[in-house]
Structure 1
Amino acid sequence: MEKWQRQVLRGTCLMRFPRLIWSGLFTVLFTTGAIAADNSGVIEVVTFKLKPGVSAVEFAPIDHQVELQHVARQPGFESRESAVGSDNEWLVIVHWRSAEDAEASMASFENAPTAAAFMSKIEASTMSMRRYENRADFPRSVNR
């Protein structure tokens, strides 16, 4: 795999372009086989609720800064997406190269400059995090 292909997979060259463009590009590249995806890795699923009085509109830029300033810069980071549901519940899905990378990122999060603003807006007691193994012997997903 070429250096630029590894950068695309790691997300290090995604910061300048909207996600929609890259999502379409990924679909084309993976579907045509231009990039051979390594299916091993970890999918981290986090849910939480915002504190009363905190709106999704207020929280979204804070969540985005956590992604840009901390999560996307961690070793083993592949991708991250956030979504808001009913009752101010949020879902965050992060793809990591390994469980060790996911754990190291979580351990460093409390010292990240953006962590305090993020944590001040959520109900910590509602936070749930689970990790799932994306094994290399499972069928490949086109969307990833």
Structure 2
Amino acid sequence: MKNTFDLGEKLFFNTLIICIISFIYFKIIEIESSNLIIEILFALFFFLINFYYGYKYSLKLKESLIVGSMGAGLGIFLSFFSLCAHFLIEGSNSSILFSVLYLSPIQSISNYLSGYNSIVNIFIIIIINIFLVVIGGQLRNITNKFLNNFK
């Protein structure tokens, strides 16, 4: 179990680093269509790191849910403040500003697809990140069983 918490802690800090780097990058360089490749790379790296942790360490379902939840801890923490601001300010769109850091790696994609960021996007990203850790762990376990059958 200690190994699970250590992996969750590593995933949390890797996600935090990706979010901080992408936040700084997007504040320095304006979001334009010429930077779309770099923006897509940030988003892919943001999502693939979750899959990588599940796959590399061949996590079981319970372990992958714990590691995924800890990895998405930044989003959970910031979404709490966004929800509090949303209900205290009574529906103001400024409540999303608390979660800009967590949404920064996928900012360009969400702007391109939906045209705006919302509190719902935060929870969708959290669920996707946890799901990717689970899928990575389960895929590794399936491939290990499949390869062991041929030995």
Regarding TM over 0.5, the answer is no
Q: Relative to total residues, which structure has the larger helix share, 1 or 2?
A: 2
Q: What TM-score comes out, normalization by structure 1 length?
A: 0.28
Q: What TM-score comes out, normalization by structure 2 length?
A: 0.27
Structure number with greater Rg is 2
